[in-house]
Structure 1
Amino acid sequence: MSKRIAIIGTGPTGIYTLQHLTGLGQPLAVTLFERSDKAGIGMPYSPETANRWMLANIASIEIPPVVTPYLDWLETQPDDRLAFYGLDPDNLDDRLFTPRLLLGEYFRDQLLSLVDRAQGAGHRIEIREATEVLDVIPRDDGMLLMTRGGAEGPFDRVILATGHEFPDDDAASRSYFPSPWSGLIEAQLPAVAVGVMGTSLSSIDAAMAVANQHGRFRRKNGLLRFESDAPGLQITLMSRSGILPEADFYCPIPYEPLSVMTLPAATACLSETKPLDALFDLIRAEIMQADPAFALRIGLGGLDADSFADAYFAAREGADPFQWSRDNLAEVEHNKANRITVAWRYALLRMHEVVEEIVADLPDADRTRLDGGLKKVFVDNYAAVPSESIRRVLALHDAGVLSILPLGQDYDLTREASRSVVTANGQTHVFEVFIDARGQVPLSSEDLPFPTLRAALLKAGFEFPEVAGDYSLIGAGDFAGRLTLASIPYLMHDRPFVQGITACAEIAAAIAKGVATGQRRRLVS
């Protein structure tokens, strides 16, 4: 008898989960539920949350193939389709960053191809579009899903792959957007003072969504310029430090192994009296071995887990953010052209994945210390943005449209009916439009949109959901062992660096392994 599986959500996590499940060699009956009209696109890659100028923060080489590798798929697309997205068919390569909308088209195409292939192999696959799951209810014979059309199921296993979650569009107004995904793309905004909270890629994209309504980017003689037709437009990005993200840097992929910061070495730190300090000893040793010059430049030998972040950001925070970006852009473009790897950057990039494996087991005090220091370094490193995004930021600044406001540690934000007021460093700034673009925050059990599951977790005392290695839910009574939690916002409390398409694929592989193991155990018993 085929194992009955429901996957709620058909973005990258849901797609990769289906891919790995159908590769197990076991007969499956899988139903995929998607609340939007088109399955397979994923919220960050949909026309409702992105336009054709917004870039995905992942290169082709990093995207795990579904049926067809992304670059191969791009090379089969019509020239006019690529041109619409600003891509030159003669310049496609595996390090290219492409628009989010195009990546969404790829994933939808891959889902449909994957379903055809799975059905040809004997699996029963059904996609239920425009179907929102309202609740998940455990019964003796399986799990029921409640939708507006009634009950669906029962299912042997339910996999929650609902992806990012942000405030509903209902919370937005003509002057305030609680996230870049809350109606900003469809909104017609006036050319006024616009405040954007955050300086990450999400914040840059929010600025682009506004700017493209009042001008356009032009490239001439290799330089990108912004031509505005609205003199009243003033966009301000703001954050506590007022620094911009750095441009994505060249490094070998797949990652080379680390020398000092191995998973066994990091795990051993948990047995030390001061786990975080022991962990930082490994970080310091790895960087010193990889890049002695950088270590000497920031005085790494005299730093600890609490002072490293300040030393790491010191030069950048003391510089003009736009000049720093120009210099950094020139450096990374030179390195990409010549395949040069900056050793300390590459070391940090690889180490954050090892550190994440033990974060949930750190003592509370050490976790607080990590969040206040080392976490910021790792996030800054892996959240480097496409070079083209930096070029656009610089073009907007050169056109007199974009500025940056360092807020410091003590600032005040007041929302009024038709404006937002920010007070920082003794000055008051008024914005007629305000966009909160600080990105996804960890969500708790109370945030779950499924009432029965939410009540079971809270009754069992789980402030945050806990999952096993295969992402099966731990605790929560009748849900345990039958519900898999693969929704990234609910994993972020214990996995603060979990993000992106590669993480989706890794989560999917672990889920499938758990399903296969569970099936074998039942057959044996």
Structure 2
Amino acid sequence: MSARHTLAIVGAGPTTLMFLNELLQLATVLLRDLDITVFEASDSPGRGFAFGDDAIHPCLLSNNTPDEIPVLTMPFSQWYRQENRKPEKAEDVHSNVVTRAAIGAYFSFSYKIIFQKLIERGLAIRHEKNTVVENLKRCPQGIQLSLNSGNSEYFEKVFINYGKERSGGTLNNTLQPYPVARYANASLKTYTVIGTSLTGIDCVTGIAHTRGAFTYHNNKLVYNSPEEWTVNLFSSHGTFPRIWYSSHYKDPRGHLNENLRF
């Protein structure tokens, strides 16, 4: 009988999700020698920081179409229709830009399905949610993980699969862009955003949706906010990024523009 290999994975975000999906492609006999534990600081697996509810605003876009999202348990478009109870004859979502929140929900859904399938295939795997790995060190028993519960566990191999947000900004008196709610909910009169990358656009979009609302009036997009505030964008290049958005905007000739770029 071959020896079992104990593996710990710290973080249950998209990287771990893709890793587990790869394990699902292996022969069952190869899975029987593995004993895996996944430690996740939050209670929502698969999302990670980039697509997690705590870090993003529901309206932030991903700049990805469904066809660019990896197929896991099912294609994203199929999952989207299923979750939103949209009939097959409804408007196709293949060419629409997806929100980060939707991708996060899809990843979380897929993680749970893949996790259960691995168990059914005979893999010894467990998921520890709301568990923070505070320290690790080598010792005679293997690699010791010290947990926020005060307990310690030992493993043969440890994989670190998480990204850590920096606690402070790169300049004095600045904030990191995520989560947007950290500053969007504040009653500030002026916001200064350094940079006009996609992250900068996320900042402005998150602030705008938090402090007001976009509506259509006489076929024009109008923004209304109950209070006055200003955003100043600073860019070293003086240009905005090229963002691909599918659009149903009609040009002056009445032609539908499916590939409008801003």
TM-score, length of structure 2 as denominator length: 0.82
In the TM superposition, residue 156 of structure 1 has moved relative to its aligned partner by 2.5
Q: Give me the whole-angstrom Cα distance separating, in 2, the residues matched to 1:132 and 1:37.
A: 11
Gap change, CA 1:126 and 1:223, over 3 Å in 2: farther
Counterpart in the other structure of 1:34: 40
Tell me the secondary structure at the aligned position of residue 67 of structure 1.
Answer: coil
Counterpart in the other structure of 1:56: 62
Compare the two structures and name the one with the higher helix fraction.
1
Q: Give me the whole-angstrom Cα distance separating, in 2, the residues matched to 1:22 and 1:154.
A: 25
In the TM superposition, residue 191 of structure 1 has moved relative to its aligned partner by 4.8
Encode CA deviations 1:162-217: one digit per residue, 9 max, x unaligned: 03x3222xx48xx95521125x3154222512101110111111112222233211
Q: Give me the whole-angstrom Cα distance separating, in 2, the residues matched to 1:180 and 1:224.
A: 26
Please state if 1:19 is matched with 2:26.
no
Counterpart in the other structure of 1:248: 244
Amino acid at match of 1:46: G
Q: Give me the whole-angstrom Cα distance separating, in 2, the residues matched to 1:126 and 1:108.
A: 16
Counting only pairs closer than 5 Å after superposition, residues 267-286 of structure 1 correspond to structure 2 as none
Q: Give me the whole-angstrom Cα distance separating, in 2, the residues matched to 1:105 and 1:176.
A: 34
Counting only pairs closer than 5 Å after superposition, residues 458-497 of structure 1 correspond to structure 2 as none
Counting only pairs closer than 5 Å after superposition, residues 122-133 of structure 1 correspond to structure 2 as 122-133=122-133
The answer (yes or no) to whether the contact 1:167–1:178 under 8 Å persists in 2 is no
Q: Given the alignment, which residue of 229, 233, 237 partners 1:237?
A: 233
Q: Give me the whole-angstrom Cα distance separating, in 1, the residues matched to 2:95 and 2:5.
A: 39
Q: Give me the whole-angstrom Cα distance separating, in 2, the residues matched to 1:151 and 1:160.
A: 19
Amino acid at match of 1:128: E
The answer (yes or no) to whether the contact 2:97–2:245 under 8 Å persists in 1 is no
Tell me the secondary structure at the aligned position of residue 39 of structure 1.
Answer: coil
Counterpart in the other structure of 1:72: 78
Encode CA deviations 1:106-158: one digit per residue, 9 max, x unaligned: 11111110111110100112111111112222234432211122454422221
Please state if 1:189 is matched with 2:191.
no
Counterpart in the other structure of 1:147: 147
**Which runs of 5 or more residues in structure 1 are unaligned?**
83-88, 251-332, 338-386, 391-525
Amino acid at match of 1:118: L
Gap change, CA 1:18 and 1:46, over 3 Å in 2: same
Give the fraction of aligned pairs with identical amino acids, expressed as a percent. 23
The answer (yes or no) to whether the contact 1:11–1:40 under 8 Å persists in 2 is yes
In the TM superposition, residue 33 of structure 1 has moved relative to its aligned partner by 0.9
Q: Give me the whole-angstrom Cα distance separating, in 2, the residues matched to 1:21 and 1:30.
A: 11
Counterpart in the other structure of 1:45: 51
Amino acid at match of 1:159: F
Gap change, CA 1:10 and 1:177, over 3 Å in 2: farther
Gap change, CA 1:214 and 1:149, over 3 Å in 2: closer
User: What is the Cα-based RMSD across aligned positions, in Å?
Assistant: 2.7
Q: Give me the whole-angstrom Cα distance separating, in 2, the residues matched to 1:191 and 1:178.
A: 14
Encode CA deviations 1:322-345: one digit per residue, 9 max, x unaligned: xxxxxxxxxxx84738xxxxxxxx
**Which runs of 5 or more residues in structure 2 are unaligned?**
247-255
Amino acid at match of 1:64: P
Q: Give me the whole-angstrom Cα distance separating, in 1, the residues matched to 2:210 and 2:161.
A: 34
Counterpart in the other structure of 2:9: 7
In the TM superposition, residue 68 of structure 1 has moved relative to its aligned partner by 1.6
The answer (yes or no) to whether the contact 1:60–1:70 under 8 Å persists in 2 is yes
Counterpart in the other structure of 2:259: 336
Q: Give me the whole-angstrom Cα distance separating, in 2, the residues matched to 1:335 and 1:30.
A: 46
The answer (yes or no) to whether the contact 1:31–1:126 under 8 Å persists in 2 is yes
Counterpart in the other structure of 1:228: 225
Counterpart in the other structure of 1:218: 215
In the TM superposition, residue 225 of structure 1 has moved relative to its aligned partner by 2.8
Aligned positions, number: 242
Counterpart in the other structure of 1:180: 177
Q: Give me the whole-angstrom Cα distance separating, in 1, the residues matched to 2:188 and 2:41.
A: 34
Counterpart in the other structure of 2:204: 207
Encode CA deviations 1:226-267: one digit per residue, 9 max, x unaligned: 22332x3111111212211112289xxxxxxxxxxxxxxxxx
Tell me the secondary structure at the aligned position of residue 6 of structure 1.
Answer: strand
In the TM superposition, residue 51 of structure 1 has moved relative to its aligned partner by 1.6
Counting only pairs closer than 5 Å after superposition, residues 282-297 of structure 1 correspond to structure 2 as none
Q: Give me the whole-angstrom Cα distance separating, in 2, the residues matched to 1:120 and 1:179.
A: 42
